[in-house]
Chains A and B, each alone.
Chain A
C-alpha cells in the first residue's frame, strides 16, 4: 500500500493528466449536447498539453535563459535548467487546438441556424422527419 501511495505521489502529474483526459473523453462520448462534446474535446487537448508541459519541468530548475555572465564563463548547468522544448511544442499544439475549436464553433453555429437546437437527439429527429 505504501509503495502504491509513493508511486501515486511521485508521478502525480501523469495521474492528473490521465484523469483529465478521461473526463474529456467521457464528455465527448457520453454527452448528447454538442457544446458539451466540444468542451470535452478541449479538456482532452488541455490534458495532453499539461502532460507535455509537466515533462519539461525539473526539480529546482530555473528558467531556460542564460545570463551573459554564465554564457561568457560557460558554466551553465543543463541539469539546473528546465527543458523548454516541450513548452515550445505546446505553443504550436495550443494554436492547433484553438483553430480546431474555432472551426468547431463555426460549424456549431451553422448547425444551430439549420436546426434551432444543439441537442444531438433533437437534431437527428429533425433530420429523420425531413
Chain B
C-alpha cells in the first residue's frame, strides 16, 4: 500500500479523540487545537481525495491487506468521496461553534463531550466509505452510541429523550443486522460488490424481499423518516447546542446516502423499483413509499408551524427534508436521484447554517423561544443576515442552493408522473416561506419590550468563533447555488453511473 492517505482521514479524528479524553481532562485549553487540527486536516485531505478520484477514477482500499471478499474494503468513488468531504467539512465548520457553546453549557465535561464528538465524526466518515455490509452495522452503532452519550449530557429532560432514542435506535440497528443476516444466508458474503454479483440469482425469493424490508426499515428509523421520526425531535430539542450543529446536518443525510448506496450497489434498482412485488396487487411498494414521503413532508412542515421555539421548529424541518430526499430516491429516475443527492449536500449546508444561527442566538440571548427573538435584527445583525439567507434557501429562492435541488426533485416528480410528491414539495416550500417570514417578522419588526435602552439596543453578537463559521456557511449556500451546475455535471453526473 503506497498511498495510505484515505486511512489517515479516518485515523486523525480517532487518535485525536483519545488524545482529547486523556489530555483534555488535565487541561481544557488543549481541547480546541486537538479538535480543530485533525478535523481540518481530514477536511482538506478529503477535498484532495475527491479531486484525485474525479481525475483518475475510483479505487478500493483494502484494509490490512486482507483481500476482499474476506477482508474489509473501503470504496472511494465520486459519491463516497463527495460525502466524505461533506462530513469532514461540515463537522470542521461546526466544531468552531461547538467549542464556545460547549464550554459554556457543559463546564468541566468538555473533554468527554469532544471525545464523543470526534468518535461520531469517525463513525460518519467510515459509514460513507465502507464497502462491507456488516462493517456498516458496526459503524452505524458507533455513531449512534456517541450520539446517545452526547444527548444525555444535556441538563433536565435529555436523559429520558436519550433513553427513548437508545431503544428505538437499537431496534433500527437490529433490523438492519437481521436483514444482513438474511442476505448472508442467501449469498454467503458480506462484501457489497460481491453481494451485487450474487444478488441477481436470488432476486425472486421471499427471503431476499424480507432482507430488503428489514434493511430498509432499519435505515428509515435511523434517518427519522416519517412516521418513524418520533425519536428525533425529542432527542434534539434539549441536546447540547454543540452537538446539534454537527449531528443535525449530518446524521440523517448520511443515512439517506446509505439507503441510496444499498439500493443501487447491493439490492439493484431494477428489482427495488419494480412495479409489482407479488405482495400487493393494487399498489407497488414504490407508490406507497412516495405517498408516505409526501404525507411526511406536509405533516412535518405543519407540525413545525405549530412550534413556538426556533430550535423545535428547525427540528421538525429536518424530518420534512428527509421526506424530500427519500421521495427523490424512490422516484426512480435520474432526475429524482440527482435531486436527492444534490439535496443531501445542500440540506447538510442549510441545516448547518440554521443550527449555527440557532446556537449563536442561544449563546447570546440565552433562549431560542420566539418571544426572545424580538428585535434580534438590531442586536445580532450578522447572525440574522446569515439566518435570512438560509431561510430563503429553505424556501427555494434562486440563486441559493435550496432552489436547484428542489428544481431537480420537482422535474423528477413530473417526469415520473407523481404529482402528489410535486404537490407536497410545493406545499412545503410555501409553509417554509410562512415559517421563516414569521421568524423574520418577530425578529425585525416587533420592538422589544420597553426597556431601559429603548429602541437603540446594544449590538450583542455571539463570539467570533460562532459568528464567522455561520457567515462562512451562509456564503457556502450561495457558492453551492452558483456551483450547482458544476456539481451536477462534474460530480453527481459522474457518480450516478458508477453507483450501479
Residues of A bordering B, CB below 8 Å: 25, 28, 34, 37-38, 41, 44-45, 48, 51-52, 55, 86, 89, 92-93, 96, 99-100, 103-104, 106-108, 110-111, 114, 120, 123, 127
A residues less than 8 Å from B138 (CB atoms): 92, 96
User: Given the known A-B contacts A37-B167, A48-B177, A48-B178, are A110 and B149 also in contact in the complex, defined by CB atoms under 8 Å?
Assistant: no
B141 within 8 A of partner (CB): yes
A residues less than 8 Å from B212 (CB atoms): none
* B138 nearest in chain A by CB position: A92
A92 to B138, CA, bound (A): 8
B162 within 8 A of partner (CB): yes
**How many residues on B have C-beta within 8 angstroms of the other chain's C-beta atoms?**
27
Asked if B163 and A100 make an inter-chain contact with CB atoms under 8 angstroms apart, the answer reads no
Task: Given contact pairs A92-B134, A106-B152, enumerate 14 new A-B contacts (beta carbons under 8 Å).
Answer: A41-B166, A45-B170, A48-B177, A48-B178, A89-B134, A93-B177, A96-B137, A96-B141, A99-B145, A100-B166, A103-B166, A107-B148, A107-B152, A107-B163
A15 to B157, CA, bound (A): 39
Total A-B residue contacts, Cβ distance less than 8 Å = 76
CB<8 Å pairs between A and B, sample of 6:
A55-B184, A89-B190, A103-B145, A108-B163, A110-B159, A127-B157
For the complex formed, measure the closest distance between the CB of B163 and the CB atoms of chain A, giving whole angstroms. 5
* B157 nearest in chain A by CB position: A127
B residues less than 8 Å from A106 (CB atoms): 152
Asked if B159 and A114 make an inter-chain contact with CB atoms under 8 angstroms apart, the answer reads yes
For the complex formed, measure the closest distance between the CB of A56 and the CB atoms of chain B, giving whole angstroms. 10
For the complex formed, measure the closest distance between the CB of B149 and the CB atoms of chain A, giving whole angstroms. 6
A110 to B152, CA, bound (A): 9
For the complex formed, measure the closest distance between the CB of A42 and the CB atoms of chain B, giving whole angstroms. 9
B185 within 8 A of partner (CB): yes
Asked if B160 and A111 make an inter-chain contact with CB atoms under 8 angstroms apart, the answer reads yes
A residues less than 8 Å from B160 (CB atoms): 111, 120, 123, 127
User: Given the known A-B contacts A55-B184, A104-B166, A107-B163, are A45 and B141 also in contact in the complex, defined by CB atoms under 8 Å?
Assistant: no
B171 within 8 A of partner (CB): yes
A69 to B190, CA, bound (A): 31
For the complex formed, measure the closest distance between the CB of B303 and the CB atoms of chain A, giving whole angstroms. 19
* A45 nearest in chain B by CB position: B174
B181 within 8 A of partner (CB): yes
A residues less than 8 Å from B181 (CB atoms): 48, 51-52, 55, 86
Asked if A100 and B145 make an inter-chain contact with CB atoms under 8 angstroms apart, the answer reads yes
Asked if B177 and A41 make an inter-chain contact with CB atoms under 8 angstroms apart, the answer reads no
A107 to B156, CA, bound (A): 12
- Tell me the interface secondary structure of chain A in the complex: helix
- Tell me the interface secondary structure of chain B in the complex: helix
* A40 nearest in chain B by CB position: B167
Q: Which of A51, A99, A107 touches B162 (beta carbons < 8 Å)?
A: A107
For the complex formed, measure the closest distance between the CB of B190 and the CB atoms of chain A, giving whole angstroms. 8
A110 to B160, CA, bound (A): 9
A96 to B152, CA, bound (A): 19
Interface string of B149-193 (1 = CB under 8 A from A): 100100011011011001100110110011001001100001000
A103 to B160, CA, bound (A): 13
A120 to B160, CA, bound (A): 9
- The 5 lowest CB-CB distance pairs between A and B, nearest first, are A110-B159, A111-B159, A96-B141, A107-B152, A104-B166
Q: Which of A51, A92, A96, A107 touches B178 (beta carbons < 8 Å)?
A: A51
B residues less than 8 Å from A38 (CB atoms): 167
A86 to B185, CA, bound (A): 10
A residues less than 8 Å from B159 (CB atoms): 107-108, 110-111, 114
Asked if B163 and A111 make an inter-chain contact with CB atoms under 8 angstroms apart, the answer reads yes
Q: Which of B145, B173, B185, B190 touches A55 (beta carbons < 8 Å)?
A: B185
* A92 nearest in chain B by CB position: B138
* A100 nearest in chain B by CB position: B170
B residues less than 8 Å from A104 (CB atoms): 148, 163, 166-167
A residues less than 8 Å from B144 (CB atoms): 100
A residues less than 8 Å from B162 (CB atoms): 107
A residues less than 8 Å from B157 (CB atoms): 127
Asked if A86 and B163 make an inter-chain contact with CB atoms under 8 angstroms apart, the answer reads no
A residues less than 8 Å from B166 (CB atoms): 41, 100, 103-104, 107
B residues less than 8 Å from A34 (CB atoms): 163
B residues less than 8 Å from A103 (CB atoms): 145, 148-149, 152, 166
A92 to B134, CA, bound (A): 10
User: Given the known A-B contacts A103-B148, A107-B152, are A28 and B163 also in contact in the complex, defined by CB atoms under 8 Å?
Assistant: no
Asked if B184 and A28 make an inter-chain contact with CB atoms under 8 angstroms apart, the answer reads no
A residues less than 8 Å from B141 (CB atoms): 96, 99-100
For the complex formed, measure the closest distance between the CB of A123 and the CB atoms of chain B, giving whole angstroms. 6
A40 to B145, CA, bound (A): 18
A108 to B178, CA, bound (A): 27
For the complex formed, measure the closest distance between the CB of A90 and the CB atoms of chain B, giving whole angstroms. 10
For the complex formed, measure the closest distance between the CB of B156 and the CB atoms of chain A, giving whole angstroms. 8
For the complex formed, measure the closest distance between the CB of A70 and the CB atoms of chain B, giving whole angstroms. 21
A100 to B294, CA, bound (A): 34
A45 to B181, CA, bound (A): 13
